[in-house]
Amino acid sequence: MQALVTQVPTLTGGAWRYLTPITPVHEAMSRHLILQAADSARAAMPVTVDPRDARASHALVIGAGRCREIPLRELLERFDRVTVTDIDPDTLQRGLDETKLTPEERRRVEVIIGDIVGVSEHLVRGIEACFAEGVWTLSACEHLVERMASFIESLEPNPAAMQPPYDLVVASCVLSQLHLASVNRVSRQFSQRFPETVKLDKQPRWRQAVCRLASRMQARFIDLVHDLVSDNGRLYLAATPRVHLIFRAPQGRWKTRETRDMLAHRHLHDFLDDRFVIEAQSQWQWSQPLPADPKKPGDLFDVEAMVLRKSRRESCRVGDFNRAEAF
Ligand SMILES: C[S@@+](CC[C@H](N)C(=O)[O-])C[C@H]1O[C@@H](n2cnc3c(N)ncnc32)[C@H](O)[C@@H]1O
């Protein structure tokens, strides 16, 4: 997963905790729960007496990326159409190529490229406008950071129109990533203008504004997935609320003493309100391969995953939560 720019350590220093390396279960667990959600969605689809009245069944995968944890072929066995979306066209193309679909299966896959919460283009254009406001010398750098931070504080997510309802919506480990592609792009643009000594992601004002934006994007995302799923449909929602920075330790063990929050809430269920009913849930850990250099940390993510359906009653939404400074 991509490195985070907004992380603030929540548990740093102190004694090392020694860990036994985990068994890699992430892909198997994700695929298992996604298919459980798919089978529930299919079982709940209205039965039509005349097959001509039946509408094509449709699944949506948000942030499909490399499709390593997405059982795309099995979804195509269960649904007439599958739409896959991602902000990163190259990664998604690679995921589709690696899945090795038949031409008939590939024809039933629709690809949509873009930011699902509709921030990216506005963010990049707005920041370019900030850059264009003047000749920013090193001494004016603080003022530029303030301009950029004020701009992103004014940004509201504005998702592009999709074609709901979907019988199944899959959003696997995308919640914490929503803002990253665009924010990292802005950081790269900034670093082209200023020397190595001024790092945008080290500026407290910028970090605070990015955290608040990420928080708004996460809240909007939850509303969006609720609205995209059909009344009888199912939502598979998984996220990584925390990452532990791990190092190699003697006797094949791992050690960690730093944990970072990745979401605006401590747990995935804190994002949910009574619009959702939890049908199944699970949690596990997921690690990236450790770097060969023992001084460099690897990532060990806590994963929380749920199969959700919509509650039958109308209800209120979780308010505008801005736990920004806290993650
Ligand atoms: C951790 S990966 C998910 C793993 C992937 N589903 C797989 O099976 O390999 C998160 C994905 O979400 C995508 N993503 C991040 N922000 C996004 C956004 N705002 N809109 C759409 N996709 C986004 C990333 O490009 C990435 O492919």
pLDDT in tens, 290-317: 998 889 999 999 999 999 999 986 555 5
pLDDT at 14: 77
Out of 73, 83, 86, give the residue to mutate to test ligand 1, the one with the largest number of ligand atoms within 8 Å of its CB: 86
Share of the chain above pLDDT 90, in %: 77
pLDDT at 13: 63
> Which whole number is the average pLDDT over 169-176?
98
The chain-wide mean pLDDT, for the chain, equals 90
pLDDT at 9: 44
Instruction: Give every CB contact of residue 116 below 8 A, 6+ residues apart in sequence.
Output: 62, 63, 85, 87, 159, 174, 178, 221, 224
pLDDT tens for each residue of 103-148: 999 999 999 999 999 999 999 999 999 988 877 777 778 899 999 9
Above 50 in pLDDT, residue 4?
Answer: no
Ligand 1: atom nearest CA of 217 is 19
Above 80 in pLDDT, residue 53?
Answer: no
Residue closest by Cα to atom 24 of ligand 1:
63
Distance 46 CA to ligand 1 centre (A): 31
Residue closest by Cα to atom 6 of ligand 1:
64
Q: Which residue has the higher pLDDT, 2 or 26?
A: 26
pLDDT at 133: 86
pLDDT at 134: 77
* Number of compact structural domains in the chain: 1
pLDDT at 139: 75
Burial class (CB in 10 A: 0-12, 13-18, 19+), 279: middle
- Establish if 4 belongs to a structural domain: no
pLDDT tens for each residue of 255-266: 999 999 999 999
- Establish if 1 belongs to a structural domain: no
- Establish if 60 belongs to a structural domain: no
pLDDT at 194: 80
Cα Rg of the chain (Å, integer) = 21
Q: What is the dihedral of CA 118, 120, 125, 126, to 10 degrees?
A: 80
Q: How far apart are CA 216 and CA 309, in angstroms?
A: 23
pLDDT at 314: 55
Ligand 1 lining (C-beta closer than 6 Å) = 1, 63-70, 85-88, 91, 115-117, 172-174, 177-178, 181
Ligand 1: atom nearest CA of 88 is 25
pLDDT at 138: 72
CATH code: domain of residue 155: 3.40.50
Above 50 in pLDDT, residue 321?
Answer: no
Ligand 1: atom nearest CA of 172 is 6
pLDDT at 12: 59
Tokens of 28: 């198997």
Q: How far apart are CA 238 and CA 307, in angstroms?
A: 9
Above 80 in pLDDT, residue 77?
Answer: yes
- Establish if 210 belongs to a structural domain: yes
pLDDT tens for each residue of 7-51: 444 555 679 999 999 999 999 999 999 999 999 999 999 887 777
Out of 31, 177, 236, 302, give the residue to mutate to test ligand 1, the one with the largest number of ligand atoms within 8 Å of its CB: 177
pLDDT at 323: 41
What are the CA-CA distances from residue 30 to residues 34, 68, 310 (Å)? 6, 9, 21
- Establish if 102 belongs to a structural domain: yes
Distance 115 CA to ligand 1 centre (A): 10
* Most confident among 54-58, 249-253, 312-316 (mean pLDDT): 249-253
> Which whole number is the average pLDDT over 271-282?
97
- Establish if 61 belongs to a structural domain: no
Above 90 in pLDDT, residue 232?
Answer: yes
pLDDT at 324: 36
Ligand 1: atom nearest CA of 65 is 27
Distance 136 CA to ligand 1 centre (A): 34
pLDDT at 308: 98
Out of 174, 237, 243, 304, give the residue to mutate to test ligand 1, the one with the largest number of ligand atoms within 8 Å of its CB: 174
The strand pairing partners of 282, in sequence order, are: 305
Q: Which backbone phi and psi does 256 adopt, to 5 degrees?
A: -145, 150
- Establish if 272 belongs to a structural domain: yes
pLDDT at 5: 40
- Establish if 13 belongs to a structural domain: yes
Q: How far apart are CA 221 and CA 224, in angstroms?
A: 5
Binned at pLDDT 50, 70 and 90, residue 54 comes out as confident
pLDDT at 317: 55
Above 70 in pLDDT, residue 94?
Answer: yes
pLDDT at 6: 43
Instruction: Provide the domain limits for residue 162.
Output: 9-44+66-326
